[in-house]
Amino acid sequence: MPRRLKGASSADTRSAILDLIRSSGRVSRIELSERSGLTEATISKIVRTLIDGGLVVEAGFAESTGGKRPVLLELNASSRYALGVSLDYARISIVLCDINGAALHSHSLAGTGRSKPQTVIERVAREIAKFLDKHGIARDDVIGIGVSGAGRQDASGGVLRSSRQTGEWEQFAIEAALNEASGMPVILENDANCAALGEFWSGRVSTAHDFATIYMATGIGCGIVINGDVYRGASSNAGEIGHLSIDIDGPECFCGSRGCLEVMATPAAVVRNARENRGLWERLDLRDREGEDVRASFGTIAAAAMAGDVDAETLVRQAARHLGTGVLGLANIFDLDRVSLAGPGFAVAGPIYLQVVRDVLDRLAFMRKVHPVTVEMGETGPGAAARGAASVVLHSHLTPHHLRA
Amino acid sequence: MPRRLKGASSADTRSAILDLIRSSGRVSRIELSERSGLTEATISKIVRTLIDGGLVVEAGFAESTGGKRPVLLELNASSRYALGVSLDYARISIVLCDINGAALHSHSLAGTGRSKPQTVIERVAREIAKFLDKHGIARDDVIGIGVSGAGRQDASGGVLRSSRQTGEWEQFAIEAALNEASGMPVILENDANCAALGEFWSGRVSTAHDFATIYMATGIGCGIVINGDVYRGASSNAGEIGHLSIDIDGPECFCGSRGCLEVMATPAAVVRNARENRGLWERLDLRDREGEDVRASFGTIAAAAMAGDVDAETLVRQAARHLGTGVLGLANIFDLDRVSLAGPGFAVAGPIYLQVVRDVLDRLAFMRKVHPVTVEMGETGPGAAARGAASVVLHSHLTPHHLRA
């Protein structure tokens, strides 16, 4: 169901019509009028400005319903672009999307590692410039850069405040620095919110639905979409399911609490638990140092679990059950009927996680007698966060803001 | 900050102006115009219909700011009323509120116990009729009846679907039955949402703020207010924090899961745990049968804890720490900066709960470096849920619906 327009200001109305055209694929002015509740005269005026601005093009005719065949409109997909960047300890990804949110090109570079923030940002800006040149994209045609980062943020200052980064990132204004270095508008969003908006823009989830996307890389977060936008909370840090405790006297977490999903269910936790099984550890040649090591070791365990290694499967199933218990809490608190699992943490053993999480929700969701909770797999490729970050730019630029809180 | 009006339909505009007058106390037409963004002519027209309808009265003059002294408007508090009913196993409360949400009269009757739903509803309708007669309130001046119930609901049918009630309530359409029996409009809402809207209408919480109210009777739930209305989720069952697990391998809960707040932190759990301390159990003469027994025994333990009984205090502090861990999860997921504790479960040992929950959030909230999470005590009297249910009627009738999702 397309969103209904109600009392938007003229800029909002324009965005809303753009959004209706995007979500419709191809659509006539009459249909836009019917779906928006605006008069055909108003629609015609708005469509004119969108065509003049190069955002919308006419694309053939619809069937006649008696009179003249109505002209169909569609987004001019290559009129503008959005860039997404995911800043990760082990790897930085850059993705270029068209105005529909489809990924056109991507590029990978070395991660942030222990480099100084300013050094990283300048490197990213240089790589972006080269990347755009290589693909013949004019800087003026890029709406902006979405940056995906893990951990706490200070939204007002565009600052990452993650305990997992070095202290220098805590005071570092990423948005301002990358804007300065690249000359383009920049928006910072946490990786889970990027993934949720990526799901939304992928068209896999209807805009009429509230839903949550569990995002798993080496850590776990979630993006919660309410009324067509990410729910951000008091300081843009909503969705920290990684710090939901499912074992009050369990192992200590870096956040100070105990038994958080972060220490019970993440790929890093699976690798730590694997160390206690010496046979498995040596058989699979595992390592549990930071960053790429954990990711590689988890990938190895996940692959072994999928191949039927009983020890590996036990570890992955245990992590999946822990994750499922956290998702169960989330579903009970939000009364969700839809959850997606996304991010590179699900790339290999996704089917196991999907089966276990589904089973937990089917058996235990508090509202199971009223409605089921659907769990689906979302995007798990290495560029998921970066593509999501580009979606954040599109969402911020093209979505009617009156739909936001 | 008063809410800004944006593009409401005319009925919404009227509700919104009424809401502005209510939240302002006394206000002039010029101030209404400034705060709403509507022209003085529009305001005058709307105010006229509100005065004609008896909802608003003129009440003196403001200071002159140069010209004529502007007339002040206020709600005609006794123009209309709302009834609130809380359906509880051990006691049913009825509260009559004026249009400001202030409780005028209240009445208590025997609880639902094991009676058949239809019998209970007919009894409630008879008691309401007597109650209104006694206080000289005309039925036509009552906007409607808000009903507060514990547990799962099926909002579309106005049905309670709680596993704690007998099976008969699961298929019983409370709204329709009470409407039929009383002749008044009825709205069903869970107790925690009632409590949250009660906080909102009490004026203790600014309408500009998202917040959560933890409601504790013999069980625990929470009402989450987002953008000026309760967040209801897919089937009006959002806020089931009682079924958030904080101990994945902990004691079994009636919902099928383990380690839920329901079995770790509720008054019922405290009473169950007290049984394991024979000395305490006998010293305080405790019982743990259903309903009023659990409530009375918990009250005894809570009073002993407040009086310095070390064993009792240990039990209450343990429950408070478990509750705090659940609230911590809620705060991390929603990025809350404000939580209130309400309901009769906090009536006696509220100060202990408040101190422990505050301590947990101060030490462990994931976003504590960005902002604090304020925890305050809300209404804990026996009529809190019923007064909250009356607020639901006022909220539904008087609040501009375009502010809702």
Number of other CB atoms surrounding residue B288 within 10 Å: 16
Cβ within 8 Å, pair A257-B161 = no
> According to the model, what pLDDT value does residue B203 have?
67
Residue A226 to residue B222, Cβ atoms within 8 A: no
Between A149-153, B140-144, B183-187, B323-327, the lowest mean confidence (pLDDT) is in: A149-153
Among the partner residues B364, B402, B405, nearest to A257 by beta-carbon distance: B364
Q: Where along chain B do the CATH 3.30.420.40 domains lie?
A: 81-198+385-402, 206-381
Q: Looking at the predicted structure, is the pLDDT value of residue B285 above 50?
A: yes
Closest CA to B99 of B42, B144, B48: B144
| Interatomic CA distance for residues A109 and A123, integer angstroms | 10
pLDDT at B113: 83
B332·A226 Cβ contact <8 A: no
- In this prediction, residue A399 carries a pLDDT of 65
Residue of B176, B160, B147 whose CA lies nearest to B84: B147
Distance, CA of B390 to CA of A375 (rounded, Å): 37
User: What pLDDT does A203 receive?
Assistant: 67
Which of chain B's residues have a Cβ under 8 Å away from the Cβ of A366?
152, 237, 240, 243, 255
- The alpha carbon of residue B211 is apart from the nearest alpha carbon of chain A, in Å, by 9
Mean pLDDT value of segment B189-210? 79
Best mutation target among B153, B245, B260, B336 (most A Cβ atoms within 10 Å) is B245
What pLDDT is attached to residue B37? 77
* Token pair in block for residue A274: 């694997």
**A335 → closest Cβ in B170, B238, B332:** B238
pLDDT, position B291: 56
- Nearest residue, CB atoms, B256 vs list A321, A364, A405: A364
The answer on pLDDT for A26 being more than 70 is yes
How far is Cα B402 from Cα B405, in angstroms, rounded to an integer?
8
Residues of B in contact with A333 (CB under 8 A): 222, 224, 238-241, 244, 330, 333
| pLDDT at residue B8 in the model | 38
Q: Which of A207, A327, A332, A360 to probe by mutation at the B interface, max B CB count within 10 Å?
A: A332
Q: How confident is the model at residue B186 (pLDDT cuts 50, 70, 90)?
A: very high
Please tell me which of the candidates B333, B369, B405 has its beta carbon nearest to residue A330.
Answer: B333
What pLDDT is attached to residue A9? 46
Burial class (CB in 10 A: 0-12, 13-18, 19+), A347: middle
Give me the DSSP letters along A88-138: -SSEEEEEEEETTS-EEEEEEEE--TT--HHHHHHHHHHHHHHHHHHTT--
Chain CA centroid to CA A250, Å: 30
Considering only CA atoms, which of B213, B82, B233 is closest in space to residue B154? Answer: B233
- Is A174:A186 a contact under the CB 8 Å cutoff? yes
The most distant pair of C-alpha atoms in chain B lies apart, rounded to whole Å, by: 77
Please name the helix (run of DSSP H) or strand (run of DSSP E) that holds residue A264, with its range, or none: helix A261-264
How far is Cα B36 from Cα B350, in angstroms, rounded to an integer?
39
First to last CA, chain B: 20
Using CA atoms, how far apart are residues B336 and A164, in angstroms rounded to an integer?
22
- B chain contacts of residue A231, beta-carbon cutoff 8 Å: 226, 334
Q: Average pLDDT, stretch A286-313?
A: 88
Report how far residue B156's alpha carbon sits from residue A112's, in angstroms, rounded to the nearest whole number.
Answer: 51
Closest Cα of chain B to A322: distance in Å? 8
Write down the pLDDT at residue A265.
97
- Mean pLDDT value across residues A34-45: 85
The HSE-up count of residue B133 (CA atoms within 13 Å, CB side) is 6
Q: Does domain A81-198+385-402 have CATH number 1.10.3720.10?
A: no
| Most confident by average pLDDT, B4-8, B282-286, B381-385 | B282-286
Q: Determine the Cα–Cα distance for residues A29 and A72; give it in Å rounded to an integer.
A: 7
Whether residue A335 and residue B239 make contact (CB cut-off 8 A), yes or no, is yes
From A6, A237, A367, residue closest to B237, measured CB to CB: A367
Distance CA A10, CA A12 (A): 5
Q: A202-205 contacts: CB < 8 A, separation 24 or more?
A: A202/A101, A202/A378, A202/A379, A203/A23, A204/A340, A204/A376, A204/A378, A205/A338, A205/A340
On chain B, the residues whose CB falls within 8 A of the CB of A339 are none
Q: Which pTM does this prediction carry?
A: 0.83
pLDDT in tens, A302-361: 999 999 999 999 999 999 999 999 999 999 999 999 999 999 999 999 999 999 999 999
Of B236, B237, B369, the CB nearest to A161: B369
pLDDT score for A402: 34
Mutate to test the interface with A, among B160, B209, B252, B367 (most CBs of A within 10 A): B367
pLDDT, residue A152, reads: 59
Q: Which of A237-251, B23-37, B79-93, B154-168 has the lowest mean pLDDT?
A: B154-168
* A contacts of B323 (beta carbons < 8 Å): none
Around A11, how many Cα atoms within 13 Å sit in the side-chain half-sphere? Answer: 5
Q: Compute the nearest-CA separation of B404 from chain A (Å).
A: 9
Give B-chain residues touching A322 at CB under 8 angstroms.
Answer: 248
Q: What is the pLDDT of residue B130?
A: 97
Residues 6 or more apart whose CB falls under 8 angstroms from that of B376 comprise: B204, B338, B339, B340, B341, B354
Task: Say whether A325 and B237 touch across the interface (CB within 8 A).
Answer: no
> pLDDT by residue (tens digit) across A123-178?
999 999 999 999 999 999 999 999 998 765 555 556 655 545 556 777 788 889 99
CB within 8 A of A274, min separation 6: which ones?
A280, A281, A284, A286, A288, A297, A301, A312, A315
Q: Do A336 and B256 touch (CB under 8 A)?
A: no
User: Looking at CA atoms only, how far is residue A166 from chain B in angstroms?
Assistant: 15
Question: For residue B97, which of B122, B75, B118, B112 has the smallest C-alpha distance?
Answer: B75
**CATH fold of A10-75, please?**
Arc Repressor Mutant, subunit A (1.10.10)
The span from the CA of A219 to the CA of A213, in Å, is 14
The partner residue sitting opposite A246, judged by closest CB among B232, B248, B255, is: B248
pLDDT grade, residue B273 (50/70/90)? very high
Give the separation between CA B2 and CA B24, rounded to whole angstroms.
8
Residue-wise pLDDT for A91-130, tens only, equals 899 999 998 888 999 999 998 888 899 999 999 999 999 9
Q: How far is B176 from chain A (nearest CA, A)?
A: 19
Contacts of B251 in chain A (CB under 8 A): none
Residue B2 has pLDDT above 50, yes or no: no
Contact check, Cβ <8 Å, B238/A328: no
Residue that has been written with the tokens 């301002």 in this structure: A176
Nearest chain A residue (CA) to B405: A227
B123-133 pLDDT, tens digit each: 999 999 999 99
Task: Say which amino acid occupies A322.
Answer: H
Distant-in-sequence contacts of A107-116, Cβ < 8 A, 24+ apart: A107/A131, A108/A382, A111/A291, A111/A292, A112/A87, A112/A88, A112/A165, A113/A89, A113/A291, A114/A166, A116/A168
Shortest distance between the Cα of A139 and any Cα of chain B, in A, equals 35
Of A255, A335, A364, the CB nearest to B255: A364
For residue B153, the chain A residue with the least C-alpha distance is: A370
Contact call for A367 and B240, based on CB within 8 A: yes
Residue B347 has pLDDT above 90, yes or no: yes
| CB atoms B234 and A371 under 8 Å | yes
Residue of A244, A254, A321, A373 best to disrupt the B interface, most CBs of B under 10 A: A244
pLDDT at res. B222: 95
pLDDT tens-digit profile of B245-256? 999 999 999 999
Tell me the mean pLDDT in the region A371-395.
90
> Which residues of chain A are within 8 Å of residue B339 when distances are taken between CB atoms?
none
More confident residue, B68 or B155: B68
| Mean pLDDT (whole number) for B50-76 | 87
Distance from CA of B244 to the nearest CA of A (A): 5
Q: Tell me which chain A residues have a C-beta less than 8 angstroms from the C-beta of B321.
A: 248
Q: Do A335 and B237 touch (CB under 8 A)?
A: yes
pLDDT band with cut points at 50, 70 and 90 for residue A200: confident
Residues of A whose CB is below 8 A from B332:
240-241, 243-244
CB contact under 8 A, B370 and A161: yes
pLDDT tens digits along B20-56: 887 788 899 988 888 877 888 889 999 998 898 888 9
Please list the residue range(s) of chain A that carry CATH number 1.10.10.10: 10-75
- pLDDT of residue A211 exceeding 60, the answer is yes
Q: Residue B4: is its pLDDT beyond 50? A: no
The CATH number of A206-381, from 3.40.50.620, 3.30.420.40, 3.40.50.11900, 3.40.1010.10, is 3.30.420.40
Q: With helix as H, strand as E and coil as C, how does chain B read?
A: CCCCCCCCCHHHHHHHHHHHHHHHCCEEHHHHHHHHCCCHHHHHHHHHHHHHCCCEEEEEECCCCCCCCCEEEEECCCCCEEEEEECCCCEEEEEEEECCCCEEEEEEEECCCCCCHHHHHHHHHHHHHHHHHHCCCCHHHEEEEEEEECCCEEHHHCEECCCCCCHHHHCCEHHHHHHHHHCCCEEEEEHHHHHHHHHHHHCCCCCCCCEEEEEECCCEEEEEEECCEECCCCCCCCCCHHHCECECCCCECCCCCECEHHHHCCHHHHHHHHCCCHHHHHHHCCCCCCCHHHHHHHHHHHHHHHCCCHHHHHHHHHHHHHHHHHHHHHHHHHCCCEEEEECHHHCCCHHHHHHHHHHHHHHHCCCCCCCCCEEEECCCCCCHHHHHHHHHHHHHHHCCHHHCC
**Does A364 contact B210 at a Cβ distance shorter than 8 Å?**
no
Count CB neighbours of A249 within 10 A: 11
**Which of A2-11, A198-207, B174-183, B196-205 shows the highest mean pLDDT?**
B174-183
Is residue B403 predicted with pLDDT exceeding 70? no
Q: Is the pLDDT of residue B161 over 80?
A: no
Mean residue pLDDT across chain A: 86
**Which of A10, A215, A245, A361 to probe by mutation at the B interface, max B CB count within 10 Å?**
A245
**pLDDT score for B77:** 82
Query: Closest-CA residue in chain B for A227?
Result: B405
Chain A residue with the nearest C-alpha to that of B246: A246
**Per-residue model confidence (pLDDT) at position A401:** 44
**Candidate from B257, B322, B367 with C-beta closest to A235:** B367
Q: Taking the mean position of all CA atoms in its chain, how far away is CA A133?
A: 26
Nearest residue on chain A to B403, alpha-carbon basis: A405
Please give, rounded to a whole number of angstroms, the shortest distance from the CA of B212 to a CA of chain A. Answer: 11
Distance to chain B for A8, nearest Cα, Å: 7
pLDDT at A229: 80
Q: pLDDT category, B207, cuts 50, 70, 90?
A: low
User: Do the Cβ atoms of B335 and A240 come within 8 Å?
Assistant: yes
Distance CA B111, CA B89 (A): 5
